[in-house]
Structure 1
């Protein structure tokens, strides 16, 4: 059955490319196709939380901002991928070492590998300022509901998120299949942005990312910062020591909170701050370190010469 699905998928690629006039970003195509489900479940979540008297996380301006950010992200991703990065991914795929078939025997190991690539990407997005400049948009929301998942940066492609998934392409998995699997991972993540589900069965909480785990990830409480990077699986956080269980109430947002609903401000403020830090006087190596150092890194004050 999986082989048949792969054949249909591969045959659909040239057809869609012909209609769209260029390479297809299957990640965005799949996510756009799922939009009615995403919006429908968000409305159900709002209704359930309202019935419980727990709808304080639903703030109109915040939700509208999330929807606007999600829409701009979708449009920008489609354009940039069509013009530049799908071609770059195909160049990487042309250098592949193997040809790995996607079938019932390989799909699970490949998906676990993709999840590991996502873990590395997500962790880097928190610990390397260049990538944080894009990812910070997602964390700048101070409320948690399903619309928060739509709070995305339009600049992910420009910062190079796709580079983290090139190991699959070098193994012989096409960019189209890689992006389709990534879409499944991202679609799952949509449903963990909620306070409507407290805890799931222990065995599930041990293996998979749950709303409880992801609430921790969005917390700016000291013990919650930079924890629980998994997309669909929490196992890599447990292996690499970045797991944190939800205990005290989560305070959402970022340490240096940006109180704005302006789409450009939300997308660009961290880039601007990084460039300002780079522009400050000092040794060039120290100035450039702001690009790859953690977001909180600061240069040591310059020592003043001692007067005789």
Structure 2
């Protein structure tokens, strides 16, 4: 399904207005609706004011309390599902400050225990050497760059928390993406080999020519089984609907079966690092 960022922005407002309209039409006050749903009146008010994102369960409870018809419920639930998806465009992120994104990611990493990364075209910042991190932010506004680099490197400490488990699947183009000079890229690949020996980190590599199944590929991350992000060069999409998250987990599992791990992965990474050095 094509995702229209403008639609994502509108959906939250439309959902809030639709729920308020249905409550008023049913002749219920916010207090009475809250009591029927076992919610606080302030929560109902925040939902109707588009100041709080309701879960799908919240919306289902409200619709049942309002006695909505099956057709109306289906329409509103479809809107609620879209509202569970957020679009963060790159221009807005830069305007707000790239450090804000790093703080948000650090929060996700602190609150999650299981991480799944599918990397299509670049190495993620958690696995990057300082040279790679600096290069990945070379086009950032100069006044934001130093702080964003520092925060990105600081986030790497989460990898050494043994209570957390990471699986990184990297396609060959991601490993060999020429973001930095070949000698520095060889050291970056050596760094991946080193990290792959940590007991809480699994690094899988997917060589070119590996068939991963039908459908377009994109970089994505799944945090536990509750939140997922998909990255584009123009921004990022955040999914909170359990069905979307489970769909990405299913894709990840399928890709995982195609990847090389442990000694096989380290052997292939060593070959790629050596190819970088032989080009010098």
**TM-score, length-normalised on structure 1?**
0.26
Query: Larger relative CO (CA 8 A, sep 6+): 1 or 2?
Result: 1
Relative to total residues, which structure has the larger helix share, 1 or 2? Answer: 1
Relative to total residues, which structure has the larger strand share, 1 or 2? Answer: 2
**TM-score, length-normalised on structure 2?**
0.28
